[in-house]
Amino acid sequence: MTKKAIDMLSPTETFYRDLAQHRAEHPDTTRAIGQHGYIELESTWGDEATILNTARISTGNSRLSSVTEFTEKDRRLLFELLRDQHGTPFETIYFRYRFVAPIFVLRQWVKHRISSWNEFSMRYRSPIDAFYLPDDAATHVDGFPVMDEEDLESYNDLMHSVLDWQSARYAKTCRRIDEARERGELPPKTTGRDPYRGRARELLRNVLPVSAYSDVYWTVNLRSLMNFFQLRCKPGAQYEIREYANAARDLFAAQYPLLSEVIEEVAALHK
């Protein structure tokens, strides 16, 4: 894509172009979710050795430097710690995910409160100009369409009208601000955040539907992450958050195959 073509992209198009480029560069740690969704396991701290070193603090001074040093005894201890719910050693390793998801999914996700949550505020740049449109799996229950084609068309038109209204109002407000500056009614724009445009974004974000997308960094320890997987990956979880949870679990398993295997073994004991 030429620089001229890039310069003509909307902020949302630029945003999704950058995510697509990042996915191409990091295929093992990123996933697309549906039409607009995205999740990435961006960073991790610690590993299986960290868990065992923490658990053994009262029993000896020997330390494992990495999972490559594991013996069968070490693997068995990892299993027993998890099986017997010795939770605190599993709080010593951390994961940072970034995800782009509909606001209604975020409302469910943020209930997992033992974590750190940093969300796109929409105060410093315009919202993502996209919304969640249910696919066949989302609209059917046991083969029955709980939303038919007419419903989906109406839904699509309504979401477009809201986002188009928000975008048009912001553009109109920016023009009025610029015209007022030209007439000398407002002070010239300085470096940093424009308080007039900023306030307009704050007010106009209020009309966004919960189907609109937002952007989040989520930092969580393993104990809380396992709880998230347990609750949100099960078949009874809502379809949309389950899609993200399954992707988050797959990304985790790819980086921590031993730990993932032990978690599955313990989970099988309770089935």
- Over the chain, what is the mean pLDDT? 92
* Biggest distance spanned by C-alpha atoms of the chain: 78
Distance CA 32, CA 27 (A): 10
Distance CA 206, CA 228 (A): 29
Tokens of 45: 């701290």
- What are the E-state strand segments in 46-80? none
**Which residues, in sequence order, are bridge partners of residue 116?**
219
Average pLDDT over residues 106-123: 94
CATH class of 11-46+93-142+211-269: alpha beta
Q: What is the pLDDT of residue 12?
A: 86
- Which residue out of 31, 98, 201, 232 is catalytically annotated? 232
Q: What is the pLDDT of residue 9?
A: 58
Quick one: DSSP state of residue 127? P
Helix axes 239-255, 257-269, angle to 10 degrees: 130
- Percent of the chain residues topping a pLDDT of 70: 97
Q: Judging by DSSP bridges, how do beta strands 37-45 and 30-33 pair with one another?
A: antiparallel
Tokens of 98: 């970034």
Q: What is the pLDDT of residue 58?
A: 83
107 catalytically annotated: no
Q: Model confidence over 125-137: pLDDT tens digits?
A: 889 999 999 999 9
Distance CA 80, CA 269 (A): 12
Average pLDDT over residues 45-73: 90
Nearest CA among 76, 119, 84 for reference residue 98: 119
pLDDT band, very low/low/confident/very high, at 10 (cuts 50, 70, 90): confident
Distance CA 76, CA 14 (A): 49
Average pLDDT over residues 218-222: 98
Q: Model confidence over 140-185: pLDDT tens digits?
A: 999 999 999 999 999 999 999 999 999 999 999 999 999 999 999 9
Tokens of 229: 């997987």
Residue 246 has pLDDT above 90, yes or no: yes
Structural element, H or E, at residue 248: helix 239-255
Single-letter amino acid code for the residue at 231:
L
Main-chain phi, psi angles of 221, to 5 degrees: -85, 165
Tokens of 100: 């782009």
Q: Where are the domains of the chain?
A: 11-46+93-142+211-269
Q: What is the pLDDT of residue 7?
A: 45
Answer yes or no: are the C-beta atoms of 79 and 266 closer than 8 Å: yes
Quick one: DSSP state of residue 266? H
Average pLDDT over residues 2-23: 72
**Which residues, in sequence order, are bridge partners of residue 38?**
32, 100
